[in-house]
Amino acid sequence: MALWWIRSVLAIVAAAVAAAGADALESEYICDSPIYCHGSLLHEIQISSLREDSKTFVDMKLKISVNETLRNFETMMAKLENNATSSDLQSFVDDHFELGEELEGVELPDWVEAPPLLTRISDPHLRNWSFWLNARWKSLARRVPESVKLQGDRTSLLYLPNAFIVPGGRFKEMYYWDTHWIVRGLLLCAMNETVRGILENFFYILRTYGIIPNGTRVYYQRRSNPPLLTSMVHDYIRVTRDLAFLQENVEWLEQEFEFWMKYRTVAVVKDGVNYTLVRYYSHTKGPRPESYKEDYDIGSKFPADKQEEFYYNIKAACESGWDFSSRWFLMNGTNEGCLRLLQYLKTLVRNYGPPTLKLSSRNGNLSNISVQNIIPVDLNAYVYKNAVLLSDFHKQLGNREKADRYATIANEWKATVTALLWNNEEGSWFDYDILNNKQRTFFYASNLAPLWTKCYDEQKSPEIAEKVVRYLERRVLSHSMAGIPQSLQYSGEQWDFPNAFAPSQHIIIEGLHLTGHPRAQKLAFDLASTWVASNFLTYQEERHMYEKYDARCFARPGSGGEYTVQEGFGWTNGVIIQLLQTYGDNLTATVSSSKP
């Protein structure tokens, strides 16, 4: 595919990018802080395992200035001849850093106890549950104190001007793609003012850094997340009709679009045709500060000239939001490891039920991660939708030339996604392996993102919907008693079987519903009923909402990955509120006998 359309969109916002200092994105480290992002102090403290979770240290606040802290550290290390014990390092941390709530709780002025849309839910148990979920927004609401703005280098927090909703658990800051489903839930709870403030936070970040980071910490600063801000603005404008807000901020949405065009595009040749799409990518050195020891332990096993490539791919996986998954594993430069694993799993499940042990490393693990060699279906579906929405925004604002330009980009993008990622025989889209120039024909919940963004020929909607339904029936539904699993690969990573995450459920359910096809809409309702039932039973038993759930059985939180399952939980709550609003007239609660 010709690159003229990429060059044309770059021209739209080149001036804005220059003003925001996009050149800073080329820095060799994830951020410039010698405390929180790189340097010997970070290295020594993190590899000593003073805390079970590496994130704990980089979320601590300095008691004195950065320069004083570094001088004291250098003095200590010189005195100890660079051989500090864990006890020495713990004493240093205790003297120079402090734990505590950096963020402040905040009242949400537009919160109401019984939002009108929730009062319409038919089943009284589900309606009361929705009110409980609505109340959770208050406990997850935070703001950044002014002291962060004044002494920003003493904390890893990024300053934000307005209140926001955190996911919960160890995730104590604002996260990018999590916030999409939080915003959906807030709008259904009539919290338009809160949503506007959250969107203004994102625009503040864009103006300041030229990128929307994964989360609002300095150590996330130069990696992003699935680009869903444009969709959030669309949802807000659809509810409020606040065109003045759109007029004021559309240039920043264009800037984010350009970021992905400039820093994340990759060209491939298939059957003699040139195609350009986007991928997740990182070019920053070293382990992730928030998971330093975990990364270092694996990275140090690589030859010296391969370590940085591993760190790049680990951070690229975090940019995807799918950290981590067999989706990103390439065994020996091929798909074969995953294929063997899929065949093994099918046999195991058929004969013995789901496995309970982590499979051996010969089936792929984090040392096989190769995100930058994979073109992801979901990311390219999001970029397509962003182009469609930018075209629509400019139509509303009377900017015909830009509207036409983004419409052309969207049409080109859709054609490329169809040509490279759609598999007509299977009835699904698949990620593309750049290294081996072939589709990765394994099930991942992300495969169906183009349904959600309508990144397909809508004249063929009935045909595509039927093919997708058959694909799910053939490949997936027998493994999804309590939700669609993230994959059929049992790797021990959290974005794999048997875990099911709320965003993936919502993307698949809403995508099926949007086709208008009767069988697809029936399946969407069945999947929504299942997901609501599993979440509701967990709520009844524990009065908690979790980051992820087990797709094999009802009322069981998910597991696996780098940390224990987290409760709260922003995106899970937002998705449930959305499903209750969409299907509330037809859903009935399954009430546990042990709870009222």
> Which residue in 235, 323, 412, 431 is the catalytic one?
323
State which amino acid sits at residue 343.
Q
* Catalytic position from the list 431, 496, 547, 550: 547
C-alpha angle 202-206-209 in degrees, rounded to nearest 5: 125
Give which of 560, 486, 500, 491 is closest to 530, Cα–Cα.
Answer: 500
Helices 461-475, 518-542: crossing angle, 10 deg rounding: 50
Q: Which residues pair with 275 in a beta bridge?
A: 268
Q: Where are the alpha helices (DSSP H) in 461-563?
A: 461-475, 502-514, 518-542
The SS3 of residue 62 is strand
User: Of the candidates 430, 426, 431, 440, which has an alpha carbon nearest to the alpha carbon of residue 468?
Assistant: 426
Least Cα distance to 390 among 257, 588, 214, 553 occurs for: 257
Q: Can you read off the two tokens belonging to residue 71?
A: 């001088």
- Closest to 443 (Cα-Cα) out of 431, 459, 461: 431
Cα–Cα distance for residue pair 213/67, rounded to 1 Å: 26
CA atoms within 13 A of residue 371's CA, in its CB half-sphere: 26
Yes or no: say if 410 and 257 are a contact pair by the CB < 8 Å rule. Answer: no
Catalytic status, residue 547: yes
pLDDT at 363: 61
In the chain, DSSP finds a helix count (H) and a strand count (E) of 22, 14
Q: What pLDDT sits at residue 596?
A: 35
- CB burial readout 179-201, b (16+ within 10 A) else e: bbbbbbbbbbbbbebbbbbbbbb
The pLDDT of residue 4: 46
Query: According to the 3-state scheme, what is the secondary structure of 298-329?
Result: HHCCCCHHHHHHHHHHHHHHHHHCCCCCHHHE
For 267, list phi and psi in degrees, rounded to 5.
-105, 140
CA-CA distance, 380 to 510, in Å (whole number)? 18
Strand-strand pairing, 61-62 and 164-165: unpaired
Active site annotation includes 567: no
Look up residue 190 and give its DSSP letter.
T
**Closest alpha carbon to 579 in 182, 185, 20:** 185
Question: How far is the CA of 141 from the CAs of 104, 151, 548, in angstroms?
Answer: 9, 23, 21
The tokens describing 352, both together, are: 């013995």
In DSSP terms, 142 is beta-bridged to 105, 164
As a whole number of angstroms, the distance between CA 241 and CA 187 comes to: 13
Question: Quick check: helix, strand or coil at residue 428?
Answer: strand
Half-sphere exposure of 293 (CA within 13 A, CB side): 16
pLDDT of residue 331: 87
Would you give the end-to-end CA distance of the chain in angstroms?
60
Q: Which stretches within 210-291 are classed as H helix?
A: 229-240, 243-263
Cα separation, 559 vs 169, whole angstroms: 14
**596: Cβ contacts below 8 Å, ≥ 6 apart:** none
Give the pLDDT of the chain (596 residues) as one tens digit per residue.
Answer: 444 444 444 444 333 333 333 444 444 899 999 999 999 999 999 999 999 999 999 999 999 999 999 999 999 999 999 999 999 999 999 999 999 778 999 999 999 999 999 999 999 999 999 999 999 999 999 999 999 998 889 999 999 999 999 999 989 999 999 999 999 999 999 999 999 999 999 999 999 999 999 999 999 999 999 999 999 999 999 999 999 999 999 999 999 999 999 999 999 999 999 999 999 999 999 999 999 999 999 999 999 999 999 999 999 999 999 999 999 999 876 655 454 444 444 444 444 444 433 333 336 899 999 999 999 999 999 999 999 999 999 999 999 999 999 999 999 999 999 999 999 999 999 999 999 999 999 999 999 999 999 999 999 999 999 999 999 999 999 988 999 999 999 999 999 999 999 999 999 999 999 999 999 999 999 999 999 999 999 999 999 999 999 999 999 999 988 888 899 999 999 999 999 999 999 999 975 544 43
The b-or-e profile of 335-363 (16+ CB within 10 A means b, else e) is: bebbeebbeebeeebeeeebeeeebeeeb
Rounded distance between C-alpha atoms, residue 241 and residue 245, angstroms: 9
C-alpha span between 328 and 316 (Å, rounded): 10
